Structure 1
């Protein structure tokens, strides 16, 4: 009986150790990177009417899954597609050819149609976002260098970029509600197409409605191109990019104007 009890204890111990080992995940080939490693995020904002799926490649190699308009990749954002993470892709320094293409309906890893390509210059140790706007032969992009700022507690930091092809310049406001314009305050003014504002540091209020208007337009409800309200757009000590995108005058969900956010850090 004593031998049987000892054997049972040994068996249970081995079973416990085996179950513990099964919880260890295999994360593949994990590579640490240092301060000299460049990082990049893709802000894909091409409002095709058919809301087509695309992939993005760097120097001929796919770096995204299939994505659609309103997708910062990786990481997503607020009033965008995707989840919300301040994630980046690693990229090699030097000349990088960026290609946007449509995959085949049954994705076989090949390109069905190339939509756009450009070449960007990447420097060691820097952080970037490549913003891609407009459609077809009018597609354009701009590369912005980012700073992983951490504001003081009680504040958030923003930069605003205009990715609206048919609005030459945009004003960014914040106010108390979508319908009350009396409290609207100009945050960034006269930001041209594919231009980005300076850094803006704001106190965190309990609530804030963000609005975009054509530059210089009257501060009325009628002039608002798009608005957005979310407590997540003013998280403590976060750095955001705010962007206006879509086409003024369009009403479909795939083409209309939006004001959206994603985390830089």
Structure 2
């Protein structure tokens, strides 16, 4: 039952999530117990209708419905150490693609696992700085998984200076704190210096002390709804 303890208290976590045979499914990254690692998973494989996977002896995620392209699975606890990652992705044309590799986790740390495709299905594991931001601020990072797309910079509204600059394909920025009063649209431009806005996310009402990932996903060379280039924002506590 040690896996059922957390930094915010066992009773709150039991009420929200409970325990199961695969460990404790976390709703907030700061609930990570000190003797376990937490992993959030992003399915960024264009065209995939579902992904199933295991990390060590446990299911990779706990979700209702299919884990299709663009979906996010919130932090879930796993045993630290070297774990075997096994992933199988499914597509409308009945094709299946598999990924098998080992990943290493450290106790007391939180991670994001990004599943993507670049000729073959691959994964990128990042360690997440999940310390909550100050009151009146949100924490944001930029994830570039736009296949066939050059490096990008992310701007807020009409700011001259990018919030994140020159992020290449398969690049993940560090988190930055921004004021929740920054309500302009999020604009993605080529890092080469062009003023052309390639993608836009409408103005967001950022929540104080929340953590976000802003993502560019899909394939520049496809117009299919479940493959095309798009931008989205993910709230880590949901």
**What's the TM-score, normalizing by structure 2?**
0.75
Query: How has the CA–CA distance of structure 1 residues 35 and 252 changed in structure 2, closer, same or farther, with 3 Å as cutoff?
Result: same
Aligned to 2:7: none
Match of 2:60 among 40, 57, 63: 63
* Separation of aligned partners in 1, 2:98 and 2:20: 33
Query: How has the CA–CA distance of structure 1 residues 249 and 184 changed in structure 2, closer, same or farther, with 3 Å as cutoff?
Result: farther
Q: Is the CA contact 1:241–1:261 (under 8 Å) kept in the aligned structure 2?
A: yes
Q: Deviations over 1:84-120 (max 9, x none)?
A: xxxx111111111222214799xxxxxx945222221
Compute the RMSD of aligned alpha carbons.
2.9
Q: Is the CA contact 1:159–1:197 (under 8 Å) kept in the aligned structure 2?
A: yes
* Separation of aligned partners in 1, 2:44 and 2:218: 8
SS in structure 2 of the partner of residue 225 of structure 1 = strand
Stretches of structure 2 that go unaligned for 5 or more consecutive residues are 1-17, 25-31
Match of 1:236 among 208, 218, 227: 208
Q: How do residues 1-20 of structure 1 correspond to structure 2 at under 5 angstroms?
A: none
Q: How do residues 81-160 of structure 1 correspond to structure 2 at under 5 angstroms?
A: 88-102=75-89, 113-134=96-117, 137-160=119-142
Query: How has the CA–CA distance of structure 1 residues 121 and 216 changed in structure 2, closer, same or farther, with 3 Å as cutoff?
Result: same
* Separation of aligned partners in 1, 2:153 and 2:130: 25
* Separation of aligned partners in 2, 1:52 and 1:90: 25
Aligned to 1:254: 226
Stretches of structure 1 that go unaligned for 5 or more consecutive residues are 1-26, 75-87, 106-111, 176-181
Q: Is the CA contact 1:60–1:99 (under 8 Å) kept in the aligned structure 2?
A: no
Q: Is the CA contact 2:152–2:191 (under 8 Å) kept in the aligned structure 1?
A: yes
Aligned to 2:146: 164
* Separation of aligned partners in 1, 2:104 and 2:135: 35
Query: How has the CA–CA distance of structure 1 residues 62 and 240 changed in structure 2, closer, same or farther, with 3 Å as cutoff?
Result: same
Give the number of aligned pairs. 208
Aligned to 1:109: none
Quick check: which one's helix share is greater? Answer: 1
**What's the TM-score, normalizing by structure 1?**
0.68
Aligned to 1:82: none
Query: How has the CA–CA distance of structure 1 residues 101 and 202 changed in structure 2, closer, same or farther, with 3 Å as cutoff?
Result: same
Q: Which has the larger radius of gyration?
A: 1
CA displacement at 1:189 relative to structure 2:
0.5
Q: Is the CA contact 1:141–1:194 (under 8 Å) kept in the aligned structure 2?
A: no
1:34 aligns with 2:6: no
* Separation of aligned partners in 1, 2:19 and 2:134: 37
CA displacement at 1:128 relative to structure 2:
0.4
Quick check: which one's strand share is greater? Answer: 2
Q: How do residues 210-229 of structure 1 correspond to structure 2 at under 5 angstroms?
A: 210-220=186-196, 224-229=197-202
Aligned to 1:85: none
CA displacement at 1:68 relative to structure 2:
0.5
